[in-house]
Amino acid sequence: MNTKLIISADDFGCNSNINVAISDSFNRNLCTNTSLIVNMPLTEEAVEIAYRNKFEHKVGLHINLTEGRPLTDSIRRLNLFCDEEGNFNAAFHTNTLTRLYLNTKIIGIIREEINEQLEKYIKYKFELLHLDSHHHIHTDYAIFKAIKPLIKKYNVKSMRISRNLYNKNTLYNSIYKLIFNNYIIKPSVYTTDYFGSIDDLLNLSKDKIKVKERDVVELMIHPIYEGDTVVDANIELARKISN
């Protein structure tokens, strides 16, 4: 049995350009899965596109606490998460301390928001029940603590690990990812063995990371149209291979 490869298109629902680019990526076999942001103005358009193009069974949830407007009221009053207009500001994600630790009250407020995002996702009758997140916030330990009880509540089937197909980690990041992936997230839910971007894979040092037969690898892409061409927003190579 060979290594299994999952290619997941992030940010479905973010805007019309991305929605169409992801749909066309499915049609051209450039991706196998996508994940939906449910709190954006173009979410409903994305849902309609998924059903019209018959890839609704391949749509997970892209948890979002960093962009757009929250679905719940309480989090809008937290300046670590929202600005004066009540929109996400990603402030918590820029501070190592708040990525690792938040008090019980704040974690409860975060859980309320993520619960509402899960409810909205389920309302669309998507069944993949895979979780990842915008800007990888679910791999912040404080945020994962908010998510963990919801994994069992909603029978979540799978969840993205912290990026580990990556050569440029500091020692601190490498240790954190090892602990998070192997001792925090994997005991709670099904995960792949490796995760990263196409760029990570191309620059992978085979001396440091050895992907074995039977391993499951997830690669994220960010499809977007530039002119008439679908490109991966995060990698120059996509400009050459997507024509």
- Report the CATH number at residue 57: 3.20.20.370
CA 161/CA 57 separation, integer angstroms: 21
Instruction: Using pLDDT thresholds of 50, 70 and 90, give the confidence band for residue 207.
Output: low
Total of domains in the chain: 1
What is the domain extent for residue 130? 4-241
Q: Where do runs of H (alpha helix) occur along 3-103?
A: 16-27, 43-52, 96-100
CA 20/CA 40 separation, integer angstroms: 15
Query: What pLDDT digit, counting tens, does each position of 1-32 carry?
Result: 477 999 999 999 999 999 999 999 999 999 99
Query: What pLDDT digit, counting tens, does each position of 63-99 carry?
Result: 999 999 999 999 999 999 999 999 999 999 999 999 9
| Of 9, 76, 70, 12, residue with least CA distance to 39 | 70
Query: What pLDDT digit, counting tens, does each position of 118-131 carry?
Result: 999 999 999 999 99
- Which has the minimum average pLDDT: 139-148, 155-164, 199-208? 199-208
Query: What pLDDT digit, counting tens, does each position of 38-54 carry?
Result: 999 999 999 999 999 99
CA 243/CA 237 separation, integer angstroms: 11
| Of 197, 191, 159, residue with least CA distance to 9 | 197
CA 35/CA 9 separation, integer angstroms: 7
Burial of 170: CB neighbours in 10 Å, binned 0-12, 13-18, 19+: exposed
The pLDDT value recorded for residue 129 is 97
| Tokens encoding 239 | 């400009």
Instruction: Using pLDDT thresholds of 50, 70 and 90, give the confidence band for residue 208.
Output: low
Query: What pLDDT digit, counting tens, does each position of 216-237 carry?
Result: 999 999 999 999 999 998 765 4
